[in-house]
Amino acid sequence: MFVGYGIEAPSFGLDDYAGLDVAGRVVVTLTGYPASMPSEEGAHYGSPREKFKTAAAKGAAAVVLIYTERFESVLPWEFMVTNLDMMQMTWIRKEDGVPFVDPPELDLFILMSPSGGALLFEGSQRSYEQVRAEAVNGVPRGFPLAVDVELQQQARHERRTSPNIAAVLHGTDPVLRGEHVVMLAHLDHDGIGSEVDGDRIRNGAMDNAAGVATMLEAARVLAADPPRRSVLFLAVTAEGLGGGSGQRQPGADA
């Protein structure tokens, strides 16, 4: 079942699942969000995680993400292929030692190439090319697809640990100091990786040394004149296992 952008956002007049029964089915959804949505809200509703959660709530068995023209201009398929060994990360639940998965009801999800996405629309009322063209400025509506798909995945799991740094600046108000404002930056893109222009050191000036430096400067200023509420400063590791954007780069070390 094609479900457009796969977004359910009533405040923006969007319900891509309206009139569609996807229980037990594979849903095919466009990447990203409509051009009519503001960027902040669009980034939230258009994120894969939100699409997966919405699909799982509707009873879908799996999600297939397909390219829009806008997504392809930002992350071409050729780039995705070079990052096939990137890994995803989650945390281990303390109560039972099971990895946290959100949403747990969804069996699997995949991203298909533009040529692969076109195959999904064969024999349907509209073609992939028509849907992509409409998505440039509009919101394609969902409809049943005529093909059957068989999906299979393989996974290898590793357990890793990495220390985080936390500091608390207690607030001055005896009542409000129990509330915390969180300032967070991640330690990322560090270590030694594959050679680029003769350099194997991952210096990470923008991702994310600049963020950590900004957080430390904010801590210094606030410590001189603490606010009424407490402030929790967090420098977290393992966001990218030495790579960027939550992706493991070839040759990167945690």
**Residue 14 — pLDDT band, cuts 50, 70, 90?**
very high
Statement to judge: residues 86 and 197 lie in one domain: no
Statement to judge: residues 125 and 171 lie in one domain: no
Q: Who wins on pLDDT, 205 or 120?
A: 120
Statement to judge: residues 121 and 227 lie in one domain: no
Statement to judge: residues 27 and 128 lie in one domain: yes
**Do 68 and 32 form a contact (C-beta atoms < 8 A)?**
yes
Statement to judge: residues 94 and 185 lie in one domain: no
pLDDT value for 254 = 24
Within a domain: residue 150? no
**In this model, does residue 172 exceed pLDDT 70?**
yes
Q: Residues 7, 243, 194, 197: is their CA dihedral positive or negative? A: positive
> What confidence tens digit (pLDDT) does each residue in 184-219 have?
988 776 667 778 888 888 777 777 788 889 999 999
Within a domain: residue 149? no
Statement to judge: residues 175 and 229 lie in one domain: yes
Domain count, the chain: 2
Of 86, 115, 135, the residue at which a domain comes to its end is: 135
Average pLDDT along the chain? 86
Cite the beta strand spans of the chain per DSSP E.
8-9, 14-15, 26-30, 62-66, 108-111, 165-169, 180-186, 192-196, 199-201, 230-236
- % of the chain beyond a pLDDT of 70: 91
Statement to judge: residues 48 and 116 lie in one domain: yes
Mean pLDDT of 135-139: 92
The set of residues, in sequence order, having a beta carbon less than 8 Å from that of 243 and lying 6+ positions away, is 86, 188, 189, 193, 249, 252
Within a domain: residue 64? yes
pLDDT value for 159 = 81
Within a domain: residue 169? yes
Query: Would you put residue 28 in left (φ > 0), alpha (ψ -120 to 50) or beta?
Result: beta
Angstrom distance (rounded) from CA 158 to CA 181: 33
For the record, the structure tokens of 229 come out as 């509420």
Statement to judge: residues 72 and 169 lie in one domain: no
Within a domain: residue 58? yes
Within a domain: residue 197? yes
pTM for the model: 0.70
Mean pLDDT of 128-143: 94
Q: Residues 63, 32, 246, 101: is their CA dihedral positive or negative? A: negative
Within a domain: residue 242? no
Statement to judge: residues 120 and 208 lie in one domain: no
Statement to judge: residues 37 and 118 lie in one domain: yes
For 199, phi then psi, to 5°, come to -125, 125
**In this model, does residue 38 exceed pLDDT 90?**
yes
**In this model, does residue 135 exceed pLDDT 90?**
yes
Q: Who wins on pLDDT, 54 or 250?
A: 54
DSSP 248: P
Range of the domain at 48: 8-135
pLDDT value for 253 = 27
Statement to judge: residues 124 and 170 lie in one domain: no
**Residue 60 — pLDDT band, cuts 50, 70, 90?**
very high
Q: Who wins on pLDDT, 160 or 67?
A: 67
Within a domain: residue 50? yes
> What confidence tens digit (pLDDT) does each residue in 214-250 have?
999 999 999 999 999 999 999 887 654 433 333 333 2
Statement to judge: residues 118 and 173 lie in one domain: no
Angstrom distance (rounded) from CA 29 to CA 217: 42
- CB 124: neighbour CB atoms within 10 A? 16
The set of residues, in sequence order, having a beta carbon less than 8 Å from that of 81 and lying 6+ positions away, is none
pLDDT value for 189 = 67
